[in-house]
Amino acid sequence: METPNRAHSQDQLIGDLRLVIENAEELLKNTDHYTSDLYQNARAKLALALEAANEELARFEDAQLERMMAATRAANERYCDRTGEQRILRAFH
C-alpha cells in the first residue's frame, strides 16, 4: 500500500514530466526554422529525448492506473461491495 506522501510525489513527478515534455515540444516547434547543423543536431537529440520521455510517461501512467485499479479491487473485496451502487454509497460515507 502506498503512503499518501509517496502517491503525492509520484503525481508530482508525472505532472513535472508532462510539463517538461510540453515545453520541449514547444521549443522544437519554435526552432524548426533554424537550419544550421548545430541547431539541427540539437533538435534531433531533443526529439529522441522527447520520444523516450513520452514512453516513460506512458509507463508511469499505466503503472499508476494499475495501482489504482488494484486498490479499488481490494477495497471492493474488503467491504464486500457487490454492485456499483454499493461502491458509490461507500465512497460518500
Write out pLDDT tens, residues 31-89: 989 989 999 999 999 999 999 999 999 998 999 899 989 988 888 888 888 888 887 88
Dig out the grid coordinates for 4 from the structure.
499518501
pTM above 0.95, yes or no: no
- Quick one: how far is CA 74 from the chain centroid? 23
Residue 35 vs residue 93, higher pLDDT: 35
Specify the range with the lowest mean pLDDT, choosing from 11-20, 23-32, 78-87: 78-87
Report the alpha-carbon distance of residue 57 to residue 61 in Å, rounded: 6
Report the alpha-carbon distance of residue 70 to residue 85 in Å, rounded: 19
Band of pLDDT at residue 2, cut at 50, 70 and 90: low
The answer to whether 13 touches 60, Cβ cutoff 8 Å, is yes
The answer to whether 72 touches 86, Cβ cutoff 8 Å, is no
Report the alpha-carbon distance of residue 88 to residue 93 in Å, rounded: 9
